[in-house]
Amino acid sequence: MNIPHDIKKRLSLYGFGFAMGIGLVFFFLGGKNSSCNWMPNARMLQIIRSKQITYSTEVQNKINSVIIDSTDISQILIDGDIDFSKSQVKNNPCRKYLINGEIKQQEAILIVKICDSIATIETVELK
């Protein structure tokens, strides 16, 4: 099969431009911590992490008595699963989210209350 010279030239120019475009994208976005959270679960967890996180007295007591650790809670806020059906997402001014995760190989449930700029971990339940 013989490809005409004009088509070869067009394909090579297209390939060259495509490669340059990929190179520019990696150059501008390569060193940055950019991410796209398209799914509701990931987006909401990112919103929670971006707020100032406080603990209720009940949760603070569990942290002080070494039942749980704040790093365990942080890890759940990174890769936990929000149960939107059991969460109160339309409350004003504060919403509550039920987040399922794992602490020390045990199933854990966090209830997080989100107000303007503060996210309060209200309860942590281990099962």
Q: pTM of this prediction?
A: 0.71
User: pLDDT tens, 62-111?
Assistant: 888 888 888 999 999 999 999 999 999 988 889 999 999 998 889 999 99
Q: Which two tokens mark 97?
A: 């989210």
Q: Which fold is adopted by the domain 40-126?
A: YaeB-like fold (3.30.2310)
User: pLDDT tens, 2-11?
Assistant: 778 788 899 9
Is the link from the previous residue into 40 a cis peptide, with omega within 30 of 0? Answer: no
Sorted by where each begins, the domain ranges of the chain are 1-34, 40-126
Looking from the CA of 79 toward its CB, the CA atoms found within 13 Å total 5
